Amino acid sequence: MAYSPSKRIRQDDAGSWIASPGSQLSLSPPPLLNGTANSSNNGLSPASCSSYDTYSPRGPCKEEMSPSSGVNGYYVDSFGDAKKKKGPAPRQQEELCLVCGDRASGYHYNALTCEGCKGFFRRSITKNAVYQCKYGNNCDIDMYMRRKCQECRLKKCLSVGMRPECVVPEYQCAIKRESKKAQKDKDRPNSTTRDAGPLTPGSAGGGRESGSGSDEEKKPIIVAMTGVKPLSASQEDLINKLVYYQQEFESPSEEDMKKTTPFPLGDSEEDNQRRFQHITEITILTVQLIVEFSKRVPGFDTLLREDQITLLKACSSEVMMLRGARKYDVKTDSIVFANNQPYTRDYYRSASVGDSADALFRFCRKMCQLRVDNAEYALLTAIVIFSERPCLVDPHKVERIQEYYIETLRMYSENHRPPGKNYFARLLSTLTELRTLGNMNAEMCFSLKVQNKKLPPFLAEIWDIQQ
């Protein structure tokens, strides 16, 4: 089946031609040597159709989405002083939730939303909920559809800027509640004498409750209560970028999926060959997306071009397994791709690529049981990309970058997971399984020669398979 979607390219500031993030993928890409961050004529150009993008460098900042300076009858002059307007206050236009269009109640988790979407987002993040769209992964979320499709609603929450890291884990909420209750009980006997005393800075503002200060003021309190150091601003920004690009380059477009060879259900030799062709075409699209994601991971563009190519070749199969785990549906024991087609292990066997399917599905179930969230998947992917590989020109630089990602994952898990579960160690143990799965994939590719099956040139090159 002919597959040659059109491409759109642009020239970056440095003058090299790179693929536009919104353009289409090609099943006939140029050689990998032309697909790295510093290359020219890059033909790898993914299009996103997935979810959970918490960081958008092209999206509006909070100030751009905030109301005008005149609110509730007041206005701010050029010196920043609030002055009361004379006469009745003009009626303000009602602010709407950026997610569903309902009446907004304020900024929640970094975005202007209603109470319903605020609660939905909080529950989804604290429970690490995984939803499945039944309507094509492209629902237009409004006050009606928000109840019908949870996956697209969560996607919309994240696309408008709601940030998972702003949601305080439940165990930390319990600690704060107990702390506030203890403080209130402690202060109650002294309430009458305190009211008669002099006004202190802490009591200014009409008896403002303790704990309502700035984030910087709260950090020492949180550390004292939990013993956990919060993520730094640079680490939070790093995680936001990773999660955004993970979702931006996670799934091929619906248009590209339609152009792949259909997956036949017959038992003939021709059907078997067409199933193999379908799987390899899906794999090409996935690897192209992995390359595009890797090029945008902070730190990757600082490496030597030779090391970029080495890392891309070595990590692609392991990252592909991580992506499979993200798409795993425990109810059907299958991996669901962008076309909503569930791929069971029997499907893989019927396409003559089932040798590693059992190990892959065991890994997917383990990741599901760990309830790995999107930020952890993104950090694990970055750690895999910057793993030690043979033939690196500057292995020490690669190691330093990886160490920073490992430390960020450690701090993230300590801030978002209950203590005493060894969660960080369990996450790192998955890297060993990924390396094993990558080796099994290489062995399976070599075994295809015996079956007289050939990989497409792109996959043969990136996985160093001599055909």
**pLDDT tens, 230-270?**
899 999 999 999 999 998 898 887 787 777 877 667 667 77
- Determine contact, residues 247/52, Cβ cutoff 8 Å: yes
Is a pLDDT exceeding 70 seen at residue 306?
Answer: yes
pLDDT digit string (tens) for 386-438? 999 989 999 999 999 999 999 999 999 999 888 877 889 999 999 988 888 88
Task: Please report the pLDDT score of residue 440 as a whole number.
Answer: 83
Instruction: Give dist(CA 283, CA 27) in Å, integer.
Output: 10
In a domain, 189, yes or no: no
In a domain, 193, yes or no: no
Q: What secondary structure does DSSP assign to 140-200, as a single string?
A: --STTGGGT-HHHHHHHHHHTT--GGGSPPHHHHHHHHHHHHHHHHHHGGGHHHHHHS---
Task: Please report the pLDDT score of residue 86 as a whole number.
Answer: 46
**What average pLDDT does range 23-47 have in this prediction?**
38
Task: Please report the pLDDT score of residue 467 as a whole number.
Answer: 55
Is a pLDDT exceeding 90 seen at residue 132?
Answer: no
Q: Is the dihedral of CA 277, 281, 283, 284 positive or negative?
A: positive
DSSP-derived secondary structure letter, 87: S
Given pLDDT bands bounded at 50, 70 and 90, which one contains residue 285? Answer: confident
Closest CA to 138 of 51, 21, 256, 258: 51
CATH number of the domain enclosing 275: 1.10.565.10
Instruction: Kindly list the distances between the CA atom of residue 213 and the CA atoms of 176, 217, 228, 240, 362, in Å, as whole numbers in the listed order.
Output: 14, 6, 19, 24, 47
pLDDT digit string (tens) for 158-202? 999 998 888 877 666 666 666 677 667 666 654 443 443 333 333
The residues facing 9 across adjacent strands are 19
In a domain, 416, yes or no: yes
pLDDT digit string (tens) for 342-358? 888 887 776 656 667 88
Write the burial class of residue 397 (CB in 10 Å: 0-12 exposed, 13-18 middle, 19+ buried).
middle
Is a pLDDT exceeding 90 seen at residue 204?
Answer: no
In a domain, 209, yes or no: no
Q: What secondary structure does DSSP assign to 413-463, as a single string?
A: HHHHS-TTS-HHHHHHHHHHHHHHHHHHHHHHHHHTTTTT----HHHHHHT
Q: Which contacts of 281-286 are long-range, i.e. CB under 8 A and separated by 24 or more positions?
A: 281/3, 281/27, 281/456, 282/252, 282/337, 283/320, 283/459, 284/27, 284/29, 284/456, 284/458, 284/459, 285/25, 285/27, 285/46, 285/252, 285/256, 285/257, 285/260, 286/252, 286/320, 286/323
In a domain, 185, yes or no: no
Given pLDDT bands bounded at 50, 70 and 90, which one contains residue 209? Answer: very low
In a domain, 79, yes or no: no
In a domain, 222, yes or no: no
Write the burial class of residue 162 (CB in 10 Å: 0-12 exposed, 13-18 middle, 19+ buried).
buried
pLDDT digit string (tens) for 39-96? 333 333 333 333 333 333 333 333 333 333 333 333 333 333 444 444 444 445 678 9
Is a pLDDT exceeding 60 seen at residue 8?
Answer: no
Task: Please report the pLDDT score of residue 123 as a whole number.
Answer: 87
Given pLDDT bands bounded at 50, 70 and 90, which one contains residue 127? Answer: confident
Q: How many distinct structural domains can be found in the chain?
A: 1
Q: Please give the single-letter amino acid code of residue 416.
A: H
pLDDT greater at residue 8 or residue 278: 278
Identify the domain containing residue 47 by its residue range.
9-54+237-462
In a domain, 221, yes or no: no
